[in-house]
Structure formats: C-alpha cells, structure tokens
Amino acid sequence: MEKVRTIVLSKSVFEDNDREARELRESLNENGLLLVNVMSSPGAGKTTTLIALINRLKEEFRIGVMEADIDSDVDAVTVADKAGCSSIQLYTGGMCHLDAAMTLQGLRELGEENFDIVFLENVGNLVCPAEYDTGAQLNMTILSVPEGDDKPLKYPLIYEKCDLVLINKIDALPYFDFDQEKCRQNILARNPDSEIISISAKTGENIEEAAEYFRKTVNRLKENLKCQNKTIK
C-alpha cells in the first residue's frame, strides 16, 4: 500500500485565476478552514519547518498537508512519517507553481471538511508561485540564512505578497555572513506589515513563537465565523 496518496494535477481550465482564488478563499472562510500557502527557495527548509510546527499544533488542531512537487514524493512521505498527519502529494506535471484551481483539486482529494489548518507546500521557487493567488488566506515564505540577507531585494514580489516570513536556519548564523537586522529591513521595505520570526526548524528555536502565530490566526478565523453566524441568525 502506498504511504501517501498522489494526485496528478490537471492544468487549470479557468482563465480567471484571481476570481477563482477569491471564491476559494471565501469558501474557506465560511468553513473555518485556514489554508496556508508555504513558499521558499528549494532547500530553505519548508518540510522541516512544517514538521516542527505541526508537532506543536497537532494536539489542538486537525492538520492536513499538501505537498506540491514536480517529481518525487520525498516530502509527503517525510511529513506523514515525522508529523503523523494527513498528507497528500500533488504532482504539478512540470509546472513551476500552483494556481487556485490546482489547489482546489488538492483540497477536494484531501477532504477539506476534516481540517482546521491545511498547509500547502508550494513548488520551491521564489518567482512563479508569487504570481499566482492560490486562494490561501495566509501566504508565508521561508528565507534561510545560507541564502543571504539580500533575497528580498532580488525577488521582490514574493516578499510583497507574504504576510509571514520565517527566517530559518538561524543555528547556522555563525557560519554565514548574514545580517538579521538588514534582512528585516529588506523584508519590511517590500511589505511593512510582514510578521517576521527567526527560527531554527532543526534545533526548535522559536518554533513555539511561530506556532503561536498560527494558533492566533486560526482562532481569529473561527471567531469571525461565529460572529457571522450569529449575525445571520
């Protein structure tokens, strides 16, 4: 029996991705499900960070993961093994990003009604995923210390779009010329409202702080939903 289900995504038939994304986001809000679009360079630590976060959050929330990859199911198997949560693999068929229709296909397969939080691990790429709204309510990116503090200068769009930036691999700071303060300024120059948290997914440093961010975001979503339901009644 295969360890994780694998979905081969078909190309979007919808021409208007922005509308599709908006409709998906509204439906997620109505169902009290937080979808998090996780983006980064290849090797910045998306999977390791998700495992660390999920292990902090899984007692409180029902969590699912969708792993988008061009090839291989390394990540979905790793997440299923190490975080013990529901995980599916999305094959993009060579595509360099996910759009809203592809995201929706994945959610349907995962069974969106069973979760409070679904993490969508996008293709490792700082360019194309930033150009396509997946419908997620929360966009985050991970910038790892070895990549350098200048990345927000060179890949501006992704930093404009992200609500949360995790600076990962801070355990490796002594090994690299990386100026945390300069990095923060570069991120904030792209989006002054960014939440920035420095972490080490490997050692666990500050993972609790990041988990708390997600806790608050899900709880705010559920509160909003309660208020809306009361208003409707």
Binding site for a second copy (CB under 8 A): 41-44, 69-72, 74-75, 94, 96, 123-128, 131, 144, 146-148, 150-151, 153-157, 169, 171-172, 175-176
Q: How far is the CB of 62 from a second copy (least distance, A)?
A: 28
- The CA distances from residue 187 to 139, 173, 180, 217, in Å, are 14, 18, 11, 21
The one-letter amino acid code at 115 reads: F
Q: How far is the CB of 47 from a second copy (least distance, A)?
A: 9
- The SS3 of residue 84 is coil
Shorter beta-carbon distance to a second copy: residue 172 or 225: 172
Say how far apart CA 140 and CA 56 lie, in whole Å. 18
Say how far apart CA 126 and CA 42 lie, in whole Å. 9
DSSP state of 127: S
Q: How far is the CB of 4 from a second copy (least distance, A)?
A: 15
Shorter beta-carbon distance to a second copy: residue 21 or 123: 123
The one-letter amino acid code at 194 reads: S
Shorter beta-carbon distance to a second copy: residue 81 or 150: 150
Q: Look-up: residue for tokens 């396509």? A: 132
Q: How far is the CB of 229 from a second copy (least distance, A)?
A: 42
Shorter beta-carbon distance to a second copy: residue 15 or 71: 71
Q: How far is the CB of 158 from a second copy (least distance, A)?
A: 10
Angle of CA points 198, 206, 163, to nearest 5°: 50
Shorter beta-carbon distance to a second copy: residue 131 or 223: 131
The one-letter amino acid code at 151 reads: K
- The SS3 of residue 203 is coil
